[in-house]
Structure 1
Amino acid sequence: MTAGQRRLLQGALLLAATVAATSAFAADVARQLKWADLVPKTMPAQPLQGKTFFGGSTPAPDGGPPPPPLAEGTFMSVKRRQPGNDRPPAVVPELDGQSVSIGGYVVPLDFDATTVKEFLLVPFVGACIHVPPPPANQIIYVKTEKGFEVGGQFDPVTVTGKINTTVAFTGLADAGYTITADTVEPRTK
């Protein structure tokens, strides 16, 4: 093999390695999602209505008397009324298995002091806690191996990881999606 052929072969190998590395990097880049991306295009979009913390209670759906107060310590064990909970959640199956990134607010489920390992990611402050939960396709159940330190309860975060369309049933609400998080980072407003 001549010196010229050797340089040509080295150049071709370098080019192939560069293309392979670029392709692998492109495959790992997380798709930026908005909450509307979680609703199938065949469904009519209904804007989520955030409610204020002091917005008052929701009247009973049948116009009857309000439900009795909950016993001390049972708040997390009572399933909340959730739009569409009488049928499977309408999810976008094409998202299954993709690497994604989405911003939202944390509703902690499993935590140790200020470290959270499991939580619901919701599109607006107070969802599932102070107001009835949004539809299941607007709630994401998030698991993170390492956990993350919670700042303020109403601080937004960005979650990056693999999403799947497995329904998660929690004590607060059903989630139409699950993300195994690689990172959970505070989001600048």
Structure 2
Amino acid sequence: MRKAFFLACLLAAAALQAAEPWPEIKWEALVPKGWDPAAKFKGIDFSKLQDSDPRAMEALEALKREWDDAPAEPSLDGRKGRIAGFALPLERVGDKVSEFLLVPYFGACIHSPPPPANQIIHARSAKPLAGVKMMAPLWVSGTFKVQRNETPWGVAGYRLEVDKVAPYVEPKK
């Protein structure tokens, strides 16, 4: 009897996990295979350029354009998932937020240059959310869309229609 109960519990847990509507998506999955943002800059020896050198400024502008035009991964369009990242609120009413950017590392978009467009997610929620603070680490669950959006903090390559937000808790090892 105990074995049957234990087996039933294991099967139920596996079924619940399989039914999870938001499988985890890693940031690497947002970058299409084969995209190499450094390809255009292979012949430049940046160590020989001073910050004030016009060639350095030209290379930085070209890099910014390349990152703003970074392609999104088309297989994510319409896919449900959850991703961990850091929030940058865009629209706040009181202590609640309905729009924010999600970025892969602390300080992204606050410092210049922002990450490539395929590493910035414009998250939107139909209902205002509490707990979304500047650079707060979060799990965000919802439906991904491949959709570009220019924001004051950078170009987002994805839109995420938010279903759920939860504080990020580091997994125990």
Q: TM-score, normalised by structure 1?
A: 0.63
Q: Identity percentage over the alignment?
A: 34
Q: 1:96 to 1:131 in 2, by over 3 A?
A: same
- 1:62 is displaced (CA, Å) by 3.4
Is the CA contact (8 Å cut-off) linking 1:141 and 1:178 kept in structure 2?
A: yes
Matched, 1:162 2:154: no
Q: Does 1:150 align with 2:142?
A: no
Distance 1:170 1:35 in 2: 20
Amino acid at match of 1:149: A
2:142·2:164 contact (CA, 8 Å) conserved in 1? yes
Contact in 2 for aligned 1:82/1:133 (Cα 8 Å)? no
- The match for 1:31 is 23
Aligned length: 141
Matches within 5 A, 1:101-180: 101-150=82-131, 153-180=134-161
Which amino acid in 2 is paired with 1:30? W
Taking a change above 3 Å as real, the CA distance of residues 167 and 27 of structure 1, as seen in their structure-2 partners, is farther
CA radius of gyration, larger in: 1
* Cα distance in 2 for residues equivalent to 1:33 and 1:170: 23
Residue 151 of structure 1: CA displacement?
6.0
CA–CA distance in structure 2, aligned partners of residues 64 and 41 of structure 1: 28
- Give yes or no for contact 2:89–2:132 (8 Å, CA) kept in 1: no
81, 89, 101: which one aligns with 2:70: 89
Between Structure 1 and Structure 2, the one with more helix by share is 2
- The 3 A distance-change label for structure 1 pair 135 and 60 is farther
Is 2:77–2:146's contact at 8 Å kept on the other side of the alignment? yes
Q: After the TM superposition, which residues 55-74 of structure 1 pair with which residues of structure 2 at under 5 Å, given as runs?
A: 62=54
Q: Secondary structure at the match of 1:142?
A: strand
- Measured after TM superposition, the shift of residue 45 of structure 1 is 8.1
Corresponding residue for residue 187 of structure 1: 168
Instruction: Note the residue ranges of structure 2 that are not aligned, 5 or more in a row.
Output: 1-14, 39-50
Contact 2:86-2:135 within 8 A present in 1 as well: yes
**Matched residues in 2 for 1:86 and 1:126: separation?**
17
**How far did residue 27 of structure 1 move?**
7.0
Q: Secondary structure at the match of 2:28?
A: helix
* Aligned partner of residue 32 in structure 1, secondary structure: coil
User: Deviation digits for residues 12-65 of structure 1, max 9, x if unmatched?
Assistant: xxxxxxxxxxx9x9576222111111001112488xxxxxxxxxxxx5683799
